[in-house]
């Protein structure tokens, strides 16, 4: 039986071209790992909440185990380490 999950929230304001590219990429990635439906929660207001219907872990295609990966809380990222990585990319 599929599981409905809140995948992420895109906070406004960002430009429409950025939103389009971002949401298209996210949708493609979710479909590649087995999502049967991907949509924007109609109850989201200023921010866009991406939802997806995903198979149970036992039904996921090979290589899709990353859906159960532990993802760190972005608020726990050290600002100094983030600045260092940004400087390295410049």
Q: Residue 86: what pLDDT?
A: 53
Given a contact cutoff of 8 angstroms between Cβ atoms, the answer to whether 47 and 10 are in contact is yes
Q: Residue 15: what pLDDT?
A: 84
What pTM did the predictor assign? 0.61
pLDDT in tens, 60-84: 556 555 445 555 555 565 656 555 5
pLDDT of residue 5 exceeding 80? yes
Note down the domain range covering 21.
3-89
Number of domains in the chain: 1
Q: Minimal CA–CA distance to 4: which of 41, 46, 32?
A: 41
Q: Residue 46: what pLDDT?
A: 82
pLDDT in tens, 12-57: 778 888 888 999 999 999 999 899 999 999 998 888 899 999 988 6
């Amino acid at each position: 039986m599929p599981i409905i999950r809140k995948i992420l929230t895109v906070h406004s304001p960002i430009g429409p071209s950025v939103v389009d590219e971002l949401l298209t990429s996210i949708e493609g990635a979710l479909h590649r790992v087995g999502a049967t439906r991907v949509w924007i929660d109609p109850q989201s207001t200023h921010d866009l909440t991406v939802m997806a219907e995903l198979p149970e872990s036992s039904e996921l295609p090979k290589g899709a185990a990353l859906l159960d990966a532990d993802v760190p809380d972005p608020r726990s990222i050290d600002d100094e380490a983030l600045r260092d990585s940004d400087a390295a990319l410049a």
